[in-house]
Amino acid sequence: MNTLLFIIEIISFAIWGSIVWIFKLLTTSKKEKEKERLKNIEIQKEKMRKEKEYEQKLKFSLTCKRCGELAFPVNGTQSNYYCESCGNRFTSVKHPFN
Ligand SMILES: [Zn+2]
The pLDDT value recorded for residue 10 is 93
What is the per-residue pLDDT across 15-65, written as a single tens digit (0 to 9) for each?
A: 999 999 998 888 888 889 999 999 999 999 999 999 999 999 999 999 999
Amino acid at 7: I
What is the 50 CA–ligand 1 centroid distance (Å)? 23
What is the 28 CA–ligand 1 centroid distance (Å)? 53
What is the 72 CA–ligand 1 centroid distance (Å)? 10
- Compute CA distances 66 → 33, 35, 86, 90, whole Å: 51, 49, 8, 10
What is the 32 CA–ligand 1 centroid distance (Å)? 47
Residue 71 to residue 86: CA distance in whole angstroms: 9
The pLDDT value recorded for residue 1 is 67
